């Protein structure tokens, strides 16, 4: 079985062909960095227009690189939410049109589920497993019980960790995208110089909060001598911020592991989403999993950030269970994995 996957939920236009034998036959990603860098962040209208300009070329490139052609495609999958609705519409309408024209089944994919299932593509992780999903818009801890079956243990009560990285980079003048820029600068910095908080440390549950950490970064910047920041100020702040994030993720995830192991003594900790590409955070969480007796799985960096292969694989998982969608499926700007989870106390909950 081979599925074509299309991803357009934020600022990457991507398409891929993946087989049910866990083989990525192609994975083409067009990044819009040049379009959004002047604004130091993603502009939804700009992103939607760029998707519209690029999606046809990207899909054709994915088909060409796969070497199978349309006769070898069994279904078309597209991210149908959550995300920036203009971009989601472009991908869904493209996927529907291709499915209709070729007489193929259409699979509407939850973007978060695509991230959640990627470790089954790369590492053949068995259900159930504990998932830390960390990206620019999402920060959640979930028990993945099966395709379409998720139990949320914790979520952010304000900002997602990727958003905190981007805003810290902006305050430090490091540009967009912020996550990789902060990670690069942190390598040369002293993570102990600035005393930054570990939000919610020691609190019951495993929800997250990063708004206060961003505020403390701003206060640290304002406390520096007047004038341009020295390179050491920037690198030390990046290192201190990254250390605070890693400590926070490890502490909150440790609490989730306790909850998970109450029912599943053995299993796997999976980390997914764009922030999972951060090597320092990956190493910290891998060490945590080892100490708690869990296996550890995290996709390669190229499969942590948004891509078509994860959407195609989610399409494979759903299609082989008979889960397809009609051409009347409506894209969703919000689409929680666990719709029955209680809302976290705080503003701006991401779902």
Cα 193-198-202 angle, rounded to 5 deg: 140
Q: If pLDDT is split at 50, 70 and 90, which confidence band does 37 have?
A: confident
Q: Is the pLDDT of residue 350 over 50?
A: no
End-to-end CA distance of the chain: 31
**Which residue would you say has higher pLDDT here, 76 or 42?**
76
Q: pTM of the entire structure? A: 0.93
- Position 45 scores a pLDDT of 86
Residue 182: which H helix or E strand, with range?
helix 178-186
Distance of CA 5 to the CA centre of its chain: 16
Q: Which two tokens stand for residue 340?
A: 């029955």
Alpha-carbon gap, residue 76 to 61, rounded angstroms: 15
Domains of the chain: 2-116+302-319 (3.30.420.40), 127-299 (3.30.420.40)
Answer yes or no: is pLDDT of 351 > 80. no
Q: Are 143 and 130 in contact (CB under 8 A)?
A: yes
Q: Is the dihedral of CA 250, 238, 301, 308 positive or negative?
A: positive
Instruction: Give, for 251, the enclosing helix (H) or strand (E).
Output: helix 231-261
CA 54 to the chain's CA centroid: 22
Nearest Cα residue to 253 out of 311, 211, 207, 195 = 207
Residue 348 has pLDDT above 70, yes or no: no
Tell which residue, 212, 190, 217, 208, has the closest CA to residue 251.
Answer: 208
Residue 241 tokens read as: 């911020």
Give the torsion through C-alpha atoms of 132, 134, 140, 145, to 10 deg: -40
* Cα 6 off chain centre by: 16
């Amino acid at each position: 079985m081979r599925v074509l996957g299309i991803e357009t939920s934020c600022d990457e236009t991507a398409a891929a062909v993946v087989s049910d034998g866990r083989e990525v036959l192609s994975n083409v990603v067009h990044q819009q960095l040049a379009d959004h860098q002047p604004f130091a962040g993603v502009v939804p209208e700009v992103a939607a227009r760029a998707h519209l300009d690029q999606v046809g070329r990207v899909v054709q490139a994915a088909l060409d690189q796969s070497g199978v052609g349309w006769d070898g495609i069994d279904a078309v999958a597209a991210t149908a939410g959550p995300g920036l609705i203009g971009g989601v519409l472009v991908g869904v309408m493209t996927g529907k049109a291709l499915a209709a024209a070729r007489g193929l089944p259409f699979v509407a994919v939850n973007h978060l589920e695509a991230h959640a299932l990627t470790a089954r593509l790369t590492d053949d992780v068995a259900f159930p497993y504990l998932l830390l999903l960390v990206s620019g818009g999402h920060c959640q801890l979930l028990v993945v019980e099966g395709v379409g079956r998720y139990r949320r243990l914790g979520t952010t009560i304000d900002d997602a960790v990727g958003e905190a990285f981007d805003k810290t980079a902006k305050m430090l003048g490091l540009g967009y995208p912020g996550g990789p820029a902060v990670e690069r600068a942190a390598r040369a910095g002293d993570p102990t110089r600035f005393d930054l908080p570990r939000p919610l440390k020691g609190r019951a549950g495993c929800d997250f909060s990063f708004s206060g950490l961003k505020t403390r970064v701003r206060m640290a910047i304002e406390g520096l001598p007047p004038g341009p920041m020295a390179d050491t100020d920037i690198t030390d702040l990046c290192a201190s911020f990254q250390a605070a994030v890693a400590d926070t993720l490890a502490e909150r995830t440790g609490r989730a592991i306790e909850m998970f192991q109450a029912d599943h003594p053995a299993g796997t900790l999976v980390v997914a989403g764009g922030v999972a590409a951060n090597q320092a955070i990956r190493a910290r969480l891998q060490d945590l999993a080892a100490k708690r007796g869990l296996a550890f799985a995290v996709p390669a960096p190229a499969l942590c950030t948004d891509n078509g292969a994860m959407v195609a694989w989610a399409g494979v998982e759903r299609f082989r269970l008979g889960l397809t969608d009609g051409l009347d499926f409506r894209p969703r700007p919000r689409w929680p994995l666990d719709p029955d989870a209680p809302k976290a106390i705080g503003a701006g909950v991401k779902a």
